[in-house]
C-alpha cells in the first residue's frame, strides 16, 4: 500500500478513536486527547502519587501545585456540558492544516541528526544541527538532563510555562526566577536580570512567553545573551510558538547574537505553530558538540519519534504556510475581542498579549484567590479558565487567571466576557 494511503487510514482510525474518547468532530484530528481518558482522570484525582517510596523521587512534593491545577482542569473537562465555554486548555479546534495529508509522505523513521532544512526559518538562522524529538517537551527535558546536575540553578522567567518549570524540577535543578513585570507589559526587569542570572548553569527562557504572550525585544534578548556569556552558561530557548506573534512582531533567535551560537540550544515543535500536538514531533537545534549528549539522552528516553509523524511534520514545515498565517490572523482578532471584553470589567486588569494563545487577567482588586474565582465561575457561569498557581514562583498566580483565546469564535468570546462581567458584578462589585 502507498504510504499516503496508509497515512490516510491511520488518520481515519485515529479520529474514530477520538470520537469515542471525547466529543468527536469538534476536536482536531491531530490532537489525540487520550490524556483525558476516564482512567487517567481517576489516576490524577487520587490524593497522592503511589510511586513515592522512601528514598525515591518525591513526586508529591515536586508537583504539589501542578497537581492542583491539573485536577481543576480535569474537573472542568469532566463536568463540561456541550454549551460550556472552554478556555482552560490550550488545544485549538482548528484542523491540522490540510496540505499535510495531501503531500507525498517521503520520510521514514530516522534517528540522530537531521537535515536542518526540515525546520522553520527561525531555526535555519541558527545554522546548527537538528535533533528530532517527541515534541519540544522531550527536547527540553533531554537538554536539562544533560546540562543540569542536582542542585544546579536554572533561571526561568516569572511567570513561565509550567512545563518548563516542572522539567527543571524533574532534572533536579533549582528554579531561580527573574520577573516579567506586569506594569511593563510583562517584560523583563533588565536591571535585575544580571544579579538573578549569577551562578545559574542554564538560562531557560522562551518567546513568546507562555502564559503572558510577551515577545522578547531585541534589548531583552541581548540582556539574556550578556547574562549567558557573563556566567558561561547554556541558553535554552523554547521557540515552540515562534509563528504565533501579533502586530507584525518577530521572534529573535538568541543564537544569532555575537558569541551565542556556541552556547544556545533552541527547542521547538509542530504542536502549536501547526496545530499538530498529537503528532509528537519537536526538535532541538544547536551546534553538534552541544547536541551530542542530548542525542544520547534522547536515545535512552524515546529512541525516536514515529516516522509517519516525522513525514507529516516535514510536510507542514515545507508546505504552504497560508494556513498558519490564516490561523494567526484569526487568533489576533480573537485576542482583540477578548481583551476588549475583559478590559471593560471593573476589577480586572489585562495586558494585551504580543503572541501566543493566552491572555492573563489580574483579579487582585476582587480580593479572591484565583482558584476560588475559577471554580465559582465554572460552577455558576460555565466558563472554564485556569488559575495561574504553579506557572512561576510559589507566590505567583494566586491573583491571576488565564484565558485561551484561540479555542472559541469571536461571538463566544464576547458571550464569555459578558458572563464574567455578570459574575463579577454579582459577587465583587468594585
Ligand atoms: C509553551 C509551550 N512550550 C512547549 C510545549 C511542549 O509542546 P510539545 O511537547 O507538544 O512540542 C507546550 C505544550 O503545551 C507549550 O505550551
Same domain for 20 and 44, yes or no, is: yes
Write down the pLDDT at residue 45: 47
Q: Distance, CA 427 to ligand 1 centroid (Å)?
A: 35
Q: Distance, CA 137 to ligand 1 centroid (Å)?
A: 6
Domain count, the chain: 3
Cis geometry, peptide bond prior to residue 75 (ω within 30 degrees of 0):
no
Q: How far apart are CA 181 and CA 250, in angstroms?
A: 21
344: which residues sit within 8 A by CB, 6+ positions away?
417, 421
Same domain for 236 and 186, yes or no, is: yes
Q: Distance, CA 54 to ligand 1 centroid (Å)?
A: 32
Same domain for 195 and 259, yes or no, is: yes
Beta strands of 219-354 (E only): which ranges? 234-238, 264-269, 282-286, 349-350
Q: Each residue of 3-49: pLDDT tens digit?
A: 445 445 545 444 443 333 333 333 333 332 223 344 444 444 444 54
Same domain for 281 and 364, yes or no, is: no
Residue 80's pLDDT band (cuts 50, 70, 90) = low
Which SS3 state, helix, strand or coil, does residue 386 take?
strand
CATH number of the structural domain spanning residue 205: 3.40.640.10
Name all residues whose Cβ lies below 6 A of ligand 1.
90, 135-137, 161, 163, 210, 238, 240-241, 269, 271, 277, 282
Same domain for 170 and 291, yes or no, is: yes
Pocket test of ligand 1: the residue of 90, 240, 392 to mutate, having most ligand atoms within 8 Å of its CB, is: 240
* Among candidate residues 223, 178, 232, the one with its CA nearest the CA of residue 202: 232
Q: Distance, CA 238 to ligand 1 centroid (Å)?
A: 9
Same domain for 290 and 340, yes or no, is: no
**What ligand 1 atom has the least distance to the C-alpha of 90?**
14
State which of 41, 63, 85 marks the end of a domain: 63
Cis geometry, peptide bond prior to residue 178 (ω within 30 degrees of 0):
no
Same domain for 153 and 82, yes or no, is: no
Structural domain of residue 9, as residue ranges?
A: 3-63
- The pTM assigned to this predicted structure is 0.80
Residue listed under C-alpha cell 484569526: 330
Same domain for 421 and 298, yes or no, is: no
Q: Which residue has better confidence, 74 or 177? A: 177
DSSP 259: T
Is 237's pLDDT higher than 90?
yes
Q: Distance, CA 75 to ligand 1 centroid (Å)?
A: 22
Same domain for 355 and 279, yes or no, is: no
* Among candidate residues 351, 354, 335, 326, the one with its CA nearest the CA of residue 413: 335
Amino acid at each position: 500500500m502507498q504510504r499516503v494511503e496508509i497515512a490516510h487510514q491511520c488518520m481515519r482510525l485515529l479520529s474514530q478513536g477520538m470520537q469515542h474518547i471525547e466529543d468527536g468532530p469538534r476536536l482536531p484530528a491531530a490532537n489525540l486527547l487520550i490524556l483525558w481518558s476516564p482512567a487517567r482522570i481517576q489516576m490524577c484525582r487520587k490524593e497522592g502519587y503511589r510511586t513515592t517510596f522512601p528514598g525515591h523521587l518525591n513526586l508529591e512534593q515536586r508537583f504539589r501545585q501542578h497537581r492542583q491545577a491539573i485536577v481543576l482542569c480535569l474537573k472542568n473537562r469532566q463536568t463540561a456540558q456541550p454549551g460550556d465555554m472552554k478556555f482552560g486548555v490550550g488545544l485549538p479546534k482548528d484542523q491540522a492544516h490540510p496540505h499535510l495529508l495531501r503531500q507525498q509522505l517521503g520520510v521514514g523513521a530516522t534517528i540522530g541528526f537531521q537535515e536542518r532544512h526540515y525546520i522553520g526559518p527561525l531555526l535555519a538562522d541558527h545554522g546548527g544541527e537538528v535533533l528530532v524529538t517527541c515534541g519540544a517537551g522531550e527536547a527540553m527535558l533531554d537538554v536539562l538532563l544533560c546540562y543540569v546536575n542536582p542542585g544546579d540553578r536554572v533561571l526561568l522567567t516569572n511567570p513561565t510555562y509550567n512545563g518548563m518549570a516542572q522539567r527543571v524540577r524533574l532534572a533536579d535543578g533549582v528554579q531561580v526566577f527573574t520577573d516579567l513585570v506586569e506594569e511593563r507589559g510583562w517584560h523583563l526587569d533588565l536591571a535585575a536580570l544580571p544579579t538573578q542570572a549569577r551562578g545559574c548553569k542554564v538560562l531557560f527562557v522562551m518567546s513568546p512567553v507562555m502564559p503572558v504572550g510577551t515577545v522578547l525585544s531585541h534589548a531583552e534578548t541581548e540582556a539574556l545573551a550578556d547574562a549567558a556569556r557573563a556566567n558561561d552558561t547554556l541558553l535554552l530557548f523554547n521557540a515552540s510558538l515562534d509563528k504565533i506573534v501579533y502586530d507584525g512582531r518577530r521572534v529573535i533567535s538568541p543564537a544569532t547574537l555575537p558569541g551565542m551560537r556556541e552556547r544556545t540550544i533552541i527547542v521547538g515543535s509542530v504542536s502549536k505553530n501547526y496545530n499538530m500536538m498529537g503528532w509528537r514531533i519537536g526538535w532541538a537545534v544547536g551546534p553538534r558538540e552541544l547536541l551530542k549528549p542530548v542525542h544520547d539522552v534522547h536515545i535512552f528516553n524515546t529512541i525516536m519519534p514515529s516516522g509517519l509523524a516525522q513525514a507529516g511534520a516535514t510536510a507542514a514545515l515545507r508546505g504552504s504556510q497560508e494556513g498558519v498565517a490564516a490561523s494567526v490572523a484569526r487568533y489576533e482578532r480573537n485576542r482583540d475581542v477578548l481583551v476588549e471584553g475583559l478590559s471593560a470589567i471593573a476589577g480586572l486588569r489585562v495586558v494585551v498579549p504580543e503572541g501566543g494563545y493566552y491572555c492573563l487577567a489580574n483579579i487582585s482588586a476582587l480580593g479572591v484567590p484565583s482558584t476560588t474565582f475559577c471554580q465559582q465561575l465554572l460552577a455558576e457561569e460555565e466558563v472554564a479558565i485556569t488559575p495561574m498557581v504553579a506557572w512561576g514562583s510559589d507566590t505567583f498566580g494566586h491573583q491571576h487567571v488565564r484565558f485561551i483565546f484561540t479555542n472559541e469564535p469571536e461571538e463566544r468570546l464576547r458571550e464569555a466576557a459578558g458572563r464574567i462581567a455578570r459574575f463579577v458584578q454579582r459577587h465583587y462589585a468594585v
